[in-house]
A and B are shown apart, each in its own frame.
Chain A
Amino acid sequence: MLLRGSNGFDGPDSALAAISGADCETGVASGAAILAFAEAIMESDKEKLARARNVILDQLGEGGLVECSAVAANFSQMVRIADSTGIPLDPPLMSMADPIRDVLKIDNFESAKNTI
Chain B
Amino acid sequence: MSLSYSAARYSVRQDLEQAHQRLWASLSAPGTWLTSAERIEVASQARLARHDGTLEKNPSILSQGLLEVAKVVGGNPKSINRIWFDEIVPKKLSVEKYVEAVGVIARSVSVDVFSKGLGLSLPDFPEWQDGSPTMIRPTTAKVDVGWVPMIPNGREGGQEAIKVFGGVNANVIRALSLVPDEVKGLLDLLEHQYIEDKKVTDPSYESDRGLSRAQTELLAGRISALNDCFY
Query: Which A residues have a C-beta under 8 Å from some C-beta of B?
Result: 2-9, 16, 18-21, 26-31, 34-35, 37-39, 41-42, 44, 49-50, 53, 60-90, 93, 104, 106-107, 109-116
Contact = CB atoms under 8 A, between A and B. Distances in A.
B13 A66 contact: yes
B171 A88 contact: yes
Interface of B: 10-13, 16, 51, 69, 73-74, 77-82, 85, 99, 102-103, 105-107, 109-114, 116-119, 145-148, 150, 170-172, 174-176, 186, 189-190, 192-194, 200-201, 203-204, 206, 209-231
Contacts of B73: 80, 83-84
26 contacts: A6-B203, A7-B213, A8-B212, A18-B222, A19-B225, A26-B218, A34-B215, A34-B218, A34-B222, A41-B223, A63-B209, A68-B219, A69-B113, A72-B117, A73-B111, A76-B109, A78-B231, A79-B77, A81-B186, A84-B69, A86-B148, A104-B225, A109-B229, A110-B78, A110-B228, A114-B82
A67 B211 contact: yes
Contacts of A106: 225, 230
Contacts of B174: 87
Contacts of B148: 85-86
| Most B CB within 10 A of own CB, among A19, A29, A82, A113 | A82
Given A74-B190, A74-B194, A81-B106, A2 B217 contact: yes
Contacts of B203: 2-7
A58 B103 CA distance: 35
Majority secondary structure of chain A interface residues (helix, strand, loop or mixed): helix
Contacts of B220: 2, 71, 74-75
Nearest to A30: B215
Contacts of B213: 2, 6-8
| Most A CB within 10 A of own CB, among B16, B200, B201, B223 | B223
B95 to A, nearest CB: 10
A68 B211 contact: yes
Contacts of A50: 119
A7 B203 CA distance: 7
B109 A71 contact: no
Nearest to A9: B214
A81 B175 contact: yes
B223 A71 contact: yes
Contacts of A110: 78-81, 228
Contacts of B119: 49-50, 53
